[in-house]
Structure 1
Amino acid sequence: MRAYRLLTGEDTSAFCHKVTKAMAQGWELYGSPQYAFDPKAGVMRCAQAVIKVVPGDYDPDRRLGDL
């Protein structure tokens, strides 16, 4: 099964660490990062999709972050 996650957060080093940690756990980048300005909070927000091939079938109760 191929698992998919969309990592999101403010454009800070914490977001970069989140993506780096996912890659260290075997997730691979999927597509380009996306950025958007959040006018209400006055900050840039980031998103990066990641995928990972894992054994087993899809289970909606499985936490993707634990894969």
Structure 2
Amino acid sequence: MTSTEDLPRYRVLTGPDDAAFCRRISEMLDLGYELHGSPSLTFNGERVIVGQALIRPATTVIPD
């Protein structure tokens, strides 16, 4: 697994509104990301597409 220090602090995931998308979001939450704002939904003529922004809070470093 990737160290959380190597992960971007901001991500936007997009995809069909299905179980696989929910698993991707759940994986990001397990890595410490938090939902940022409401999901965005659109219809592409065949299915619903969803987008969700996520942020990973910065770790606070206390100086000596």
TM-score by length of 2: 0.74
Shift of 1:3: 1.4
Partner Cα distance (1:28, 1:46) in 2: 17
Question: 2:54 corresponds to which letter in structure 1?
Answer: V
Q: Which residue of 2 aligns with 1:6?
A: 12
Which 4+ stretches in 1 moved above 2 angstroms?
A: none
* Structure 2 counterpart of 1:52, from 49, 52, 56: 56
TM-score for both structures, normalised by structure 1: 0.71
Residue 60 of structure 1: aligned partner: none
CA distance in 2, matches of 1:25, 1:3: 11
Structure richer in strand, relative to its length: 1
Aligned residue for 1:15, secondary structure, equals helix
The one-letter code matched in structure 2 to 1:48 is Q
Unaligned runs of 5+ in 1: 56-67
Q: Equivalent of 1:36, from 42, 56, 62?
A: 42
